[in-house]
Amino acid sequence: MRWKRLEWRFYFSCFLVSLCALLVFAFFMSAVLREFYLQETTKNLEAKAELVKAGIMTKAGAPPAGTLQQQCLYLAALAKTRITIINAQGTVLADSEKKPENMENHADRPEIAAALRGQVHAVGRYSYTLEKDMMYLATPCFPSGQAAAVVRLALPTTVFSRALATVYRQLFFIVVLLAGVMAAISWILARAISQPLETMRQGAERFAQGDLQHKMTIPKTPELAGLASSLNAMAAQLDERFHTIARQRQELHTVLDSMAEGVVAVDNQENIMNINPAAARLFNKAGEEVTGRSIQEVIRYPEILDFISRIPAAGGMLEDDLVFYQEGREKTIRAQGSPLYDERGDKIGALLVMQDITRQRRLESIRRDFVANVSHELKTPLTSIQGFVETLQDGAWQNAKKSREFLGIISKHIVRLNAIIEDLLQLSRIEQCEQGKNPEKQKMLLRPMVESALQLCAENYKGKRQAWTIQCEEDLAAEANPPLLEQALVNLIDNAMKYGPAGMELNIRARQSEQEIMIEVADKGPGIAPQHLPRIFERFYRVDKARSRKVGGTGLGLAIVKHIMLAHKGRVQVQSTLGQGSVFTLILPANE
55 pLDDT above the threshold of 50:
yes
- Measured CA to CA, the distance from residue 579 to residue 577 in angstroms comes to 6
- Range 1-209 classified under CATH 3.40.50.1110: no
The answer to whether domain 1-209 and domain 362-434 are alike in fold is: no
- Measured CA to CA, the distance from residue 55 to residue 66 in angstroms comes to 15
Confidence label for 375 from pLDDT (cuts 50, 70 and 90): low
- Determine the residue type at 105: N
Confidence label for 109 from pLDDT (cuts 50, 70 and 90): confident
482 pLDDT above the threshold of 80:
yes
Q: Report the pLDDT averaged over residues 195-215.
A: 75
Least confident range from 46-50, 78-82, 418-422, 502-506: namely 418-422
Query: How deeply is 230 buried, as exposed, middle or buried, from its count of CB atoms within 10 A (0-12, 13-18, 19+)?
Result: exposed
The residue ranges of DSSP E strands in 229-305, in sequence order, are 262-267, 272-275
311 pLDDT above the threshold of 70:
yes
60 pLDDT above the threshold of 60:
no
Query: CATH classification of 442-589, choosing from 3.30.565.10, 3.40.1160.10, 3.40.50.10490, 3.40.50.740?
Result: 3.30.565.10
Domain coordinates of the chain in residue numbers? 1-209, 259-356, 362-434, 442-589
184 pLDDT above the threshold of 50:
yes
Half-sphere exposure of 103 (CA within 13 A, CB side): 22
Q: Report the pLDDT averaged over residues 273-297.
A: 79
- Measured CA to CA, the distance from residue 262 to residue 256 in angstroms comes to 8
Q: Report the pLDDT averaged over residues 123-128.
A: 76
Q: If DSSP codes are grouped into helix, strand and coil, which group holds residue 337?
A: strand
Distances (CA, A) of 583 to 387, 478, 500, 507: 41, 21, 13, 9
The angle formed by the CA atoms of residues 305, 311 and 312, to the nearest 5 degrees, is: 120
Q: Report the pLDDT averaged over residues 61-81.
A: 74
* pLDDT recorded at residue 429: 64
Q: Which long-range contacts (CB under 8 A, 24 or more apart) does 332-340 make?
A: 332/356, 332/357, 332/358, 332/361, 333/262, 333/282, 333/304, 333/357, 333/358, 335/304, 335/307, 337/307, 337/308, 337/310, 337/311, 338/311, 338/314, 339/311, 339/312, 339/314, 339/315, 340/265
pTM comes to: 0.45
Distances (CA, A) of 53 to 85, 103, 118, 335: 10, 21, 14, 126
Pairing relationship of beta strands 149-156 and 82-87 according to DSSP bridges: antiparallel
Q: Report the pLDDT averaged over residues 215-236.
A: 76
Provide φ and ψ at 588, rounded to 5°: -115, 145
**Residues present in the chain in total:** 592
Confidence label for 565 from pLDDT (cuts 50, 70 and 90): confident
Q: Cβ(408)–Cβ(386) under 8 Å? A: no
> If you classify domain 259-356 with CATH, what class do you get?
alpha beta
Q: Report the pLDDT averaged over residues 23-44.
A: 79
Confidence label for 419 from pLDDT (cuts 50, 70 and 90): low
Confidence label for 1 from pLDDT (cuts 50, 70 and 90): very low
467 pLDDT above the threshold of 80:
yes
**Which of 67 and 431 is assigned the larger pLDDT?**
67
% residues pLDDT > 70 (the chain): 84
Q: If DSSP codes are grouped into helix, strand and coil, which group holds residue 220?
A: coil
- Measured CA to CA, the distance from residue 348 to residue 335 in angstroms comes to 20
Q: Cβ(430)–Cβ(564) under 8 Å? A: yes
Q: How far is CA 388 from the centre of its chain?
A: 81
* pLDDT recorded at residue 349: 86
521 pLDDT above the threshold of 70:
yes
* pLDDT recorded at residue 59: 40
550 pLDDT above the threshold of 60:
no
Q: If DSSP codes are grouped into helix, strand and coil, which group holds residue 351?
A: strand
* pLDDT recorded at residue 570: 87
Least confident range from 89-93, 394-398, 482-486: namely 394-398
CATH of domain 362-434: 1.10.287.130
Least confident range from 260-274, 363-377, 390-404, 526-540: namely 363-377
Helix (H) or strand (E) holding 375: helix 358-393
352 pLDDT above the threshold of 70:
yes
132 pLDDT above the threshold of 80:
no
Confidence label for 85 from pLDDT (cuts 50, 70 and 90): confident
